[in-house]
Structure 1
């Protein structure tokens, strides 16, 4: 019999319903933590922070030390892929990411055929170092952005409310847009495989802007590329545990029901657990989906929200998380209250 500690997060991904759900939170390493703000102030830029293993390791471990979450997630950003493909990427304080927009075939031609793996090497070093530092019962998650979401930033050059620049590009130049998506499918696949080789035990694909796509485009630009990444990853790593997070999928969530190799799906705040249970087969674990604003608010609103999530998933394998990332203004004591309440479930 193995003496290794049981990892509840991995058991849930394998389809096991736990006595109490494992818990981790998107953006659990971030500005709401005073210890994070202290080390962030020592980096010259956000990308430098991501690409400096000493900082990234510390940021990844901080929420584990403070809250004892059941999984740690690599500290990085989804835009390291366009950066490694040769697109100019910068983060402006208070304004978010800024990229050199791709507006035509010439812009696409400037991208490298595959990422600069030396540029991304710090992420793999970070995973290796975190893996050795984690408690034995804590799992390690890697991640990437989904092709659609990453492409939307690459085309607009920034975040926009409805990603209209990328949507217009896809309508007007569908063949060129498909080429960009395929480039990102290949880059994302290779990136995730390298993360798994470096020690990640599961990976999550963040499609933060899936919800802006109408049905036909959702199938074409969200579901199909994510399914392609999953298939390609599992072709080389058959046991890879992969989570998809199509934020805003709403009534289109069921389109992921037949994606082979999908271990779990992340639910945003607007999805009722009952709807997800009905739309997705039992082999797919469900992750989510407390409102991040309930965590900011605290008090009775937080307690009621936690209890609704805990009670909503019945006999399904469930991983407790938020419906999106922790907000910077979240009080640390509210996260402590959340974890305590989940642990008492």
Structure 2
């Protein structure tokens, strides 16, 4: 078993006793950090940054140099799998990710390969490089987009406001969408297992757009495929359990179903109190979250009081990982994130006595 100086994050994911609440932040290596912006400029483009193992390692470690965080998360993008399928991922300033080719028909789906971890060697190289650089300081989180979320980008051709094209496919040609989601699920299984083999000590599935679905459609088109992924993952590696986190934004109506997915933890956004979320999942899984990212734009006193409120909402006992309810935004002052992290360290031990 590889030595790990700080395993509080992994213990909390497994609902084991901890001395305080662990904390990390979604998108913690990002544009709010001036050092990240310098690294990205040096790389030339976002994807060049992702594809360079040394630079991906550099930006992954940047927030750990500033803040007392309990985990690092691989620097990459959720759309690496569709890109490896040949759809031609590119980014336009101010418009987000786009694809040169879309998936709209049975023939389009049939033409897609199932991606293996070997098709994304640059990600595996980044994982190995980061694990080496961390030297057991904190665990490394690997991740992927969920099949549903990946499919929204592939069918729409990029970001969307109303998801009209994929909704039309879902209700008029569901068999085509299910075939696409099945290929994506198999690809995510291989991709995440590759990350685990390369050194990721926990993995998170980001289902950013699952919350746009009704509970019935969420179960059919999102959750069943994430459950399939969880069942296909290597849950033991290097002498340790590899915990799995599911995060669906706006999932408050689906949390009880998610708790039966086989995952160890669920990410929770800020639209539901953790006390209610804990009631819904019946302590079957750990909960991660759920400070509104916009709170970090407020005063330092406000940040501290809201951190205290989140901790109080979860209450006593193990199974809570402090995080934002979604990714940190570019306008946040890094000093404000430090206030949040320090407040978690200061306030949370009282909930673990």
Structure 2 length as normaliser, TM-score? 0.93
Q: Choose 139-148 or 295-304, whichever is displaced more.
A: 295-304
Question: Does the CA contact (< 8 Å) of 2:208 and 2:248 recur in 1?
Answer: yes
Distance 1:318 1:147 in 2: 26
Instruction: Note the alpha carbon deviations across 1:307-333, whole angstroms, 9 max, x for none.
Output: 111111122411000000000000011
Partner of 1:92: 92
Aligned-partner Cα distance in 2 for 1:97–1:131: 28
Q: Could you tell me how far 1:217 is from its partner in structure 2?
A: 0.5
Counterpart residue number, 2:108: 107
Please say if residues 253 and 279 of structure 1, whose CA atoms lie closer than 8 Å, have aligned partners that are also in contact.
yes
Cα displacement string for residues 118-154 of structure 1 (whole angstroms, at most 9, x for unaligned residues):
4x11111111111121153411000000000000000
2:275 equivalent to 1:303: no
- Work out the CA distance in 2 between the residues paired with 1:244 and 1:302: 26
* Corresponding position of 1:341: 343
Hey, what does 2:281 align to over in structure 1? 280
In structure 1, list runs of 5 or more residues that go unmatched. none
Show the 5 A alignment for 1:148-167: 148-167=148-167
1:5-84 to structure 2, matched below 5 A, reads 5-84=5-84
Query: Quick check: 2:291–2:310 contact (8 Å CA) kept in 1?
Result: yes
| Aligned counterparts of 1:247 and 1:17: Cα–Cα separation in 2 | 27
Q: Distance in 1 between matches of 2:183 and 2:167?
A: 18
Deviations 1:87-134 (A, max 9, x none): 11111111100112212123223322334724x111111111111211
1:124 corresponding residue in structure 2: 124
1:324 alignment counterpart: 326
CA contact (8 A) 2:54 2:129 kept: no
* Counterpart selection for 2:245 from 243, 246, 249: 243
1:225 pairs with 2:218? no
The Cα of 1:65 is off from its aligned counterpart by 1.2
Written as runs of structure 1 = structure 2, the 5 A alignment for 1:160-239 is 160-234=160-234, 239=241
User: What RMSD over aligned residues (CA atoms) do the two structures have, in Å?
Assistant: 1.9
Q: Distance in 1 between matches of 2:117 and 2:337?
A: 37
* Matched-pair contact (CA < 8 Å) for 1:21–1:318: yes
Residue 255 of structure 1 corresponds to 257
Cα distance in 1 between the residues matched to 2:259 and 2:56: 35
Paired positions, count: 343
CA distance in 1, matches of 2:300, 2:114: 51
SS at match of 1:293: helix
Contact 1:277 1:313 (8 Å CA) reproduced: yes
Residues in 2 aligned to 1:299 and 1:236: alpha-carbon distance in whole angstroms: 41
* Structure-2 separation of matches of 1:4 and 1:157: 41
| 8 Å Cα contact 1:211-1:249 kept in structure 2 | yes
- Of 126-135 and 109-118, more deviation after overlay is shown by 109-118
Q: If the length of structure 1 is used for normalisation, what is the TM-score? A: 0.95
Deviation track 1:53-97 (CA, whole Å, cap 9, x = no partner) reads: 121110111011111310000000010000011111111111100
The 1:115–1:31 alpha-carbon spacing in structure 2 relative to 1, beyond 3 Å, is same
